[in-house]
Amino acid sequence: MENGFENPIYITRPLLPDLHKINERLGKIWETGILTNMGGQHRELEGKLCEYLGCENITLFNNGTIALMAGLKSLDIKGEVITSPFTFPATIQALEWNGLKPVFCDIDPVSMTIDAEKIEGLINENTSAILGVHVFDNICDVKRIDGISKKYNLKVVYDAAHSFGSIHNGVPIWEYGDLSMFSFHATKLFNTIEGGCIISKNSDITDRLDMMKSFGRNSDVRVVDWGINGKLNEVQAAMGIEVLKLVGLEKEKRIKVSETYNSMLSDVEGIRIVTNADMNKSCQYLVIEIDEDRFGKSRDMVNETLNSGNVFPRKYFHPLCSDAEWYRMDYSKNELNHARVAAESVLALPFYGSLSSEDVEKICRIILNC
């Protein structure tokens, strides 16, 4: 089938460890009878992740959304938070569950992250924080955001769901802002099936989050703080320990896959590759932007043609969060022109280490001939 694939090609394939290794770990969990509540697997994963990410403090969670909700709560922020509409709904939902009002700021058209130049114009006496999203692992303008936060005394939180293990300006990405959230969802480079974490340089925040994720109880099991059940269980942790061993090699393979995409698409009029893959990046997505006027076909046409060839990319992030029925009435008053264009023109293509270069070339040919 020159115009398609016999078996479906999805946007990603999760990293799956050797089943025997998982079984061995399950055997240990069964022996101890400890299935959750920060047991041996959980502690081992915490240690391995601190080593991998170069941090001293980490709080693991049952998913990235709960992690972000708790992270925001741990900073005691109130009122309005300036954020990007070009993100996954979870970013905005974490604010809403905290009773915080999202104030949408337009994005930079190249990086597709929050446009730092436009942040100051949205600050008022109710603003308490900036929530940036390192979308597709394109890093926010962290230096400028840092300057703004100091000038106006604002907290800075990063939704780094796409940026596991990224190094920016020679330092780990979690070093920026008050805290960062990484997602360990099955679609992410590193996964615990579902899971996530918060990393902060401030160990008081980590200590507080450790309590908050376990019903706000201290070591005497007295409730002393805001609480939720945000615990990562032992089976998730066991999965994470084994998946982490595979991340380095997977990144190397994804870099090769991205080189093939680059060689086929980077010089095509009307197509821009929005992401780059190297060992300092998370290598999580391969995203293109299609300019309909110059390419001659819209993103939606390209998507439909790929779908009919049994290829299923994703229109990340469409529709724009600020256009969702739920938020439209209250929060969509600002100009969001670049975000709107991005939502209509971006396509995340299949991207995983076991995708062969022949298959990548075929996907690209379908795009080019559409």
Ligand X SMILES: Cc1ncc(COP(=O)(O)O)c(C=O)c1O
Residues at the site binding ligand X, with contacts judged by CB under 6 A: 63-65, 87-88, 90-91, 133, 159, 161-162, 183, 185, 196
Compare residues 39 and 85 and give the one whose CB is closer to ligand X.
Answer: 85
Compare residues 191 and 260 and give the one whose CB is closer to ligand X.
Answer: 191
Compare residues 281 and 362 and give the one whose CB is closer to ligand X.
Answer: 281
Cα separation, 169 vs 171, whole angstroms = 6
Compare residues 162 and 251 and give the one whose CB is closer to ligand X.
Answer: 162
At how many degrees (to 10) do helices 64-74 and 203-212 cross? 120
Shortest distance, CB of residue 357 to ligand X, whole angstroms?
A: 27
Cα separation, 232 vs 239, whole angstroms = 11
Contacts of 10 (CB under 8 A, 6+ apart): 312, 350
Shortest distance, CB of residue 317 to ligand X, whole angstroms?
A: 8
Shortest distance, CB of residue 82 to ligand X, whole angstroms?
A: 16
Cα separation, 353 vs 13, whole angstroms = 8
Structure tokens at 261: 């995409």
Shortest distance, CB of residue 89 to ligand X, whole angstroms?
A: 8
Residue (of 339, 345, 335, 319) closest to 135 by Cα position:
339
Compare residues 185 and 208 and give the one whose CB is closer to ligand X.
Answer: 185
Cα separation, 154 vs 337, whole angstroms = 26
Residue (of 116, 109, 153) closest to 132 by Cα position:
116
Compare residues 65 and 200 and give the one whose CB is closer to ligand X.
Answer: 65
CA 92 to chain centre: 13
Compare residues 41 and 282 and give the one whose CB is closer to ligand X.
Answer: 282
CA 248 to chain centre: 18
Structure tokens at 334: 């600002």
Shortest distance, CB of residue 91 to ligand X, whole angstroms?
A: 5
Shortest distance, CB of residue 66 to ligand X, whole angstroms?
A: 7
Shortest distance, CB of residue 188 to ligand X, whole angstroms?
A: 7
Compare residues 137 and 141 and give the one whose CB is closer to ligand X.
Answer: 137
State whether residue 156 is helix, strand or coil: strand
Contacts of 256 (CB under 8 A, 6+ apart): 357
DSSP type of residue 101: E
In the sheet that holds 271-273, the strands lie side by side as: 271-273, 286-290, 346-349
